[in-house]
Amino acid sequence: MTTRALRRWFVVHKWTSLVCTLFLLIVCVTGLPLLFSEQIWDTFVGDDDPPYEVLPPGTPNASLDVIVDKARALYPGQIITSVNPDDDEPAVLVSMAPSWQALKDDENYPDRHSGHWIKFDARTAKVLEQSRPADAPKEPRTWTGIIMGICNRLHTSLFAYLPGRLFLGAMGGVFVASLVSGTVLYGRFMKRLPFGSVRRDRASRLTWLDLHNLLGAATLVWATVVGFTGLVNELQTPLFGLWRVTDVRQILKPYANLPVPAQDHLSSVQAAFDTAAKAAPGNEVTGLSFPGASFGSPVHYVLWTRGNTPLRARLFTPVLVDARTGELTGAYPMPWYLRFLEISRPLHFGDYGGMPLKILWALLDVVVIGVLVSGLVLWAGKRRIATDARLRALGYELDDPDDAAVPVLTAGDAR
Amino acid sequence: MNAVSPEIPMPSRPVSASRYPVAVWPWPIALGLLTIFGLLSALLGQQGIWLALSWAALSIPLIVTVICLIRAWRRPSSKGGLS
């Protein structure tokens, strides 16, 4: 490699790293509690669900139609918006609202929540729990809730909603560029050093450089994968938007102008679940939303199904069932870019291999923090060398380059 | 980011074993392949043995790092690495 090319790679590495390091430190640190959020919630807040009735194993689930009727009887005159069987517990969540219009109006009033939910036991169809009424005093926020909320919003959007997400996505891209350029530099600087050397008998800069190289080389692939999948995750809003204005709009076009039928004339919910399960073989049905939902069809049940293997568990296939007749309209596998998004999620979250994988994820994350910090130390040290040289040129006597007072002076005055 | 400015030639030192070029890439490539294997085996396999293999494969880069650090701090010399 020529010196010029090397210098160019060095500049790329320096600037890409400088641009993304602060944000990566934020993301790495806030990612740690998020990794264990389930355990943290269970430990500090606990499960406030009432205990489930103990029934003989193999007790069949109640028909969803029975559950839907019970929900309607509890709130006559209201509409049901969705029906979602729980993933791990024998429960069914039914969401309701006074009307679709009321839900739409909520968007203009941030403190109005007209939607509410009822949780049923999936086997006995008994009411287990209900959401707090809108006029009830607000539940006091727990410290766990506040801290986890802050971590979550910092990690995904820096409290800046969509622009924050896109910005962090861009930082993910810059991070990958810094990893690539760092790898090139690694090849150059390790030419005469056996792998894993940490020189401690010379300048402390060399110790930091060797640490940076060792930690970076050990986590290079993991950091690339998590950085890149993080970037893909941040693009989810525009990608789903793209799907909605292309395929979804095309599919719903023939129905777009039909009126939403009254809910007491709709076909069976349980039958719609069964139809969807048949339409997407190998998938399980995870939920149904009623006709009229904001991004559905006015006359269809939209059923969300997903694969039942870990790789496909995040690949959702929506199924449309005509709510007037109960007939299948079709199953619509997602386009490739959304499939790619869904597959890249587990590789970012590290939640697909049990607790040991999460712990490894956390340890690798800590090592990456080490790479970031050692990189910062190297950069700061280099800056000080440069400013020291300038000060000497100006005639200052700098006897002890390690004197803590010098950098303080130089930081303010030399530039 | 790094210590040695590219344009400054290496100061001449007495020739020792570590002055000769060494193979740079075998270790990083091996650790990278183990990482890829670990990430995919849990994702695609998702069952007993594949999960265990995934945990093992992903721990190796961490273990190697720790060994290198321990070696370097126990015996402060420039030959603290694996070769």
pLDDT score at A270: 95
Query: Has residue A310 been placed in a domain?
Result: yes
Residues A117, A257: one domain? Answer: no
Q: In this predicted structure, what is the pLDDT of residue A33? A: 95
Q: Kindly state whether residue A51 falls inside one of the protein's structural domains.
A: no
First to last CA, chain A: 34
CATH of the domain at A123: 3.10.450
Nearest CA in chain A to B20: A192
Q: Which amino acid is at A112?
A: R
Check CB contact under 8 Å for B61 and A219.
Answer: yes
Do the bridges between strand A316-322 and strand A300-307 make them parallel or antiparallel, or are there none, so unpaired?
A: antiparallel
Q: Does A267 share its domain with A342?
A: yes
Whole-number pLDDT of residue A34: 95
* C-alpha dist (Å) from residue A174 to A153, A187, B42: 21, 20, 28
Shared domain check, A165 and A132:
no
Among candidates B21, B32, B67 on the partner chain, residue whose Cβ is nearest the Cβ of A221: B32
Pairing verdict, β A79-85 and A283-289: antiparallel
What are the angstrom distances between the C-alpha of A180 and each of A12, A173, A175, A184, A342? 10, 11, 9, 7, 25
pLDDT at A87: 83
Residues A346 and A364 in one domain: no
User: Which of A180, A192, A347 to mutate to test binding with chain B, by most B CBs within 10 Å of its CB?
Assistant: A192
Judge whether A396 is closer than 8 Å to chain B, CB to CB: no
Q: Which residue has the tokens 């694969």?
A: A307
Q: Do A364 and B64 form a contact (C-beta atoms < 8 A)?
A: no
How many folded domains does chain A comprise? 3
Are A174 and A313 found together in one domain?
A: no
Query: Which is higher by pLDDT, A26 or B44?
Result: A26
Same domain, A130 and A176: no
Please provide residue A238's backbone torsions phi and psi, each rounded to the nearest 5 degrees.
Answer: -65, -35
Look up the domain containing A264 and give its range.
Answer: 252-352
Q: Does the CB of A2 have a partner CB in chain B at under 8 Å?
A: no
Option in B1, B24, B68 nearest A379 (CB): B1
Beta bridge partners of A331: A319
* Rounded alpha-carbon distances, angstroms, from residue A127 to A96, A121, A163, A245, B27: 14, 6, 41, 39, 59
Contact between B1 and A195 using a beta-carbon 8 Å cutoff? no
Q: Which of A302, A327, A352 is the last residue of a domain?
A: A352
Q: Which residues of A touch B35 (CB under 8 A)?
A: 221-222, 225
pLDDT of res. A335:
92
A 92-151 residues with CB < 8 A to B: none
Domain boundaries, chain B: 26-74
Could you say which of A192, A360, A379 has the minimum Cβ distance to residue B58? A360
The pLDDT value recorded for residue B6 is 43
**Cβ–Cβ < 8 Å for A383, A262:** no
Q: Hey, what's the torsion of the CAs at A217, A221, A225, A231, to 10 degrees? A: 40
User: Which is nearest to A266 in space by CA: A295, A285, A288, A294?
Assistant: A288
Q: What is the pLDDT of residue A155?
A: 95
Q: Do the domain assignments include residue A106?
A: no
| Number of Cβ pairs < 8 A linking chain A and chain B | 168
Question: Would you call A200 an interface residue with chain B, using a CB distance cutoff of 8 Å?
Answer: yes
In this complex, do A352 and B42 lie within 8 Å of one another by their Cβ atoms? yes
The pLDDT value recorded for residue B16 is 42
Domain shared by A19 and A82, yes or no: no
| A228 and A153 housed in the same domain | yes
**B51/A357 touch (CB, cutoff 8 Å), yes or no:** yes
Same domain, A383 and A347: no
Residues A324 and A378 in one domain: no
A274 and A347 fall within a common domain: yes
DSSP assignment of chain B equals --SS-TTSPPPP----GGGS----SHHHHHHHHHHHHHHHIIIII-SHHHHHHHHHHHHHHHHHHHHHHHHHHHS-STT-S--
Do A309 and B46 make contact, defined as CB atoms within 8 angstroms?
yes
Residues of chain A with pLDDT under 70: 1, 47-50, 134, 138, 310, 397-415
A162 within domain boundaries? yes
Instruction: Nearest by CB to A192, from B19, B36, B80: name it.
Output: B19
State whether A217 and B27 contact (CB < 8 Å).
yes
Q: Last residue of a domain, which of A352, A382, A399? A: A352
The answer to whether residue B10 scores a pLDDT higher than 70 is no
Mean pLDDT of chain B: 76
User: Looking at the complex, does the CB of residue A15 fall below 8 Å from at least one CB of chain B?
Assistant: no
List the single range of A39-43, B2-6, B61-65 with lowest mean pLDDT.
B2-6
Among B2, B28, B76, select the one facing A378 at the smallest CB separation. B2
From the list A198, A203, A363, the residue facing B72 with the nearest CB is A198
Q: What is the distance between the terminal CA atoms of chain B, rounded to a whole angstrom?
A: 24
Res B12 pLDDT > 50: no
Q: How far apart are the CA of B83 and the nearest CA of chain A, in angstroms?
A: 5
Contact B62 A209 (CB under 8 A): no
Mutate to test the interface with B, among A11, A197, A204 (most CBs of B within 10 A): A197
Helix A3-35 to helix A161-189 angle, to the nearest 10 degrees? Answer: 130
Q: Assess whether A333 and A376 both reside in one domain.
A: no
Q: Is residue A262 one of the residues assigned to a domain? A: yes
